[in-house]
Every structure is written in C-alpha cells, then in structure tokens.
Copies of this chain bind each other. A is one copy, B any other.
Amino acid sequence: MQAPLSALSPIEQQKSASERVGEQIRELIASGNLAPGEKLPSENELSRALQVSRPVVREALRGLSMLGLVESRQGGGCYVTDLHVDRLMEPLSFFLRLNEHSLDDLFEARAMIDCGLAKAAAARATEDQKARLLEMAKIGFDLVDDPVGFRVMDAQFHSLISEAAGNAFLNSVAQSFYSLAMDARRRASAMPGVLEQSAKDHDAIVKAIVAGDGRAAAAAMGQHVDNIRLTTLAARNLSEDLADAP
C-alpha cells in the first residue's frame, strides 16, 4: 500500500541568504527601528555586520526596492521610502491586469467604485480640491474639439476625485480600472457629441461634490459611467463592423 503523499509536507527548505537578509531589514522597518526617510547603512557596512558578501546584500535591497520599501540612489545611499500605501499597492494593480476580463464587467465594476468615490469625495474634498475640480469642469467645455487634450484632462479629473475620496485602496483600484478602460475608450472619443456629453457629466459631478451632496454625486457619476459605457461599446461595434466589411 502506498503512503498518502498528500499527508507529507515538503522538507523545510532553508531560505537563501539574501532572503534572510531581506527579511531582517524588512522586520527592522516594520518594527519601526528604521523610520520612513531614514538612511540605511551602506552595503559594505551591512555585508560586514551580517557577515555575507555584498552581492547578497544587494539582492536583498533590490528586492525590498521592488516592494517599494526602500529606494537606492547611486552614490547617495539607500533610504526607507515614505511607506505610503499607494507605493506599496503595485502588486494589486498587477494582479488586476493579470486575468482578462470582459468590458461589461469592467464598466459594472467602474460604476460601483467610481460612484463610491464620488460620494466619499463629496464628503471629504478640501476647498483646494473643489476649486481644481471646478476649474477642470470649466476647461472641459473648451476641449470638446481636442480629443487628446480632453483625455489628458479626463484622466486628471478622475484621478483628482479618487484623491479627494481619501482612500488609498479604492484609489489604486480605480486607477487600474481607468487605465484598463482607456484602450477601448480612445476610439470612442473621436465620435461626435461624445466629449460634449462628458463635459456636461463632469460639470454635474463637480457641482454635486462642491455642494457636498454625496447622493447626487454618486448619481451623476453613475450616469457618467453609463454614458461612457454606451459610447464605448458603440465605438467598438462600429470598428468591428468596419473590420468585418471593409
């Protein structure tokens, strides 16, 4: 009779030296012994102190650097980053890009997230942010004949609302979704009337946020996302028809 292999656990594989070094430094940061902005000892000092070679220390630091925990400047030393959530959030964006999803799902998700963001922004936006939003909404009407310029403004507009909502997690998700939808969006912004509608939508959203009316802001954002969805899908079908019968 064969023993049940599922019951066996793999041999405790000892981690490599660079991983152990990385964990030690990470622990120093997590425990607060290394504060944000603080300078780490030089690679030579670390290698002497930990009794490993410099490449080992370098690999560990490079790993922490990719995690967004430290930043190395050539000739200037290695520093702990500000440890803001946004900086550490990159794995989430990567994961969202990983699996392919349908456009319908994307718009449903955006509707949910962006409505929540608008609602939160209405409650928390600072006076400065409100002023910038008003400015952007006004500029939008001047850019209806400039698709490229409008898209740049549009990205800043949504980014500013995310920022005003003050939630790093939702902000990260919203940015990822926005950039995912951008590809499909590019074709739609060339269609007549689309940018005019978006400018009006932006105006309504900003008015609600400035007024501090969360429900109205969420409703206006929901309408906006739905308008975008319709025109984006229409543009996609149009280009597909062109591809089928050129």
Q: Which B residues are CB-close (under 8 A) to A19? A: 65-66
Chain copies in complex:
2
Q: Is A26 an interface residue when CB atoms closer than 8 A count as contact?
A: yes
Q: Which B residues are CB-close (under 8 A) to A167? A: 105, 108-109
Alpha-carbon gap, A221 to B120, bound state (A): 19
For A98-135 the 0/1 string (1 means CB < 8 A from B) is 11011001101100110010001000000000000000
Chain A interface main SS type: helix
A interface bracket (residues with beta carbon within 8 Å of B)? 35 or more
Stretch among A38-46, A170-178, A192-200 lining the B interface = A170-178
Q: Is A97 an interface residue when CB atoms closer than 8 A count as contact?
A: yes
Q: Which B residues are CB-close (under 8 A) to A182? A: none
Q: Is A148 an interface residue when CB atoms closer than 8 A count as contact?
A: no
Q: Which B residues are CB-close (under 8 A) to A85? A: 95, 102, 105
Q: Is the CB of A94 within 8 A of B26?
A: yes
Q: Is the CB of A168 within 8 A of B99?
A: yes
Alpha-carbon gap, A102 to B67, bound state (A): 17
Q: What residue of chain B has the Cβ atom nearest to residue A119's Cβ? A: B112
Listed by A's residue number, 24 A-B pairs whose Cβ atoms lie within 8 Å are A16-B74, A19-B65, A30-B97, A30-B98, A55-B58, A58-B59, A63-B65, A66-B67, A67-B91, A68-B91, A83-B95, A85-B102, A85-B105, A88-B91, A88-B92, A89-B92, A92-B176, A96-B172, A101-B168, A101-B169, A105-B170, A108-B169, A108-B170, A113-B113
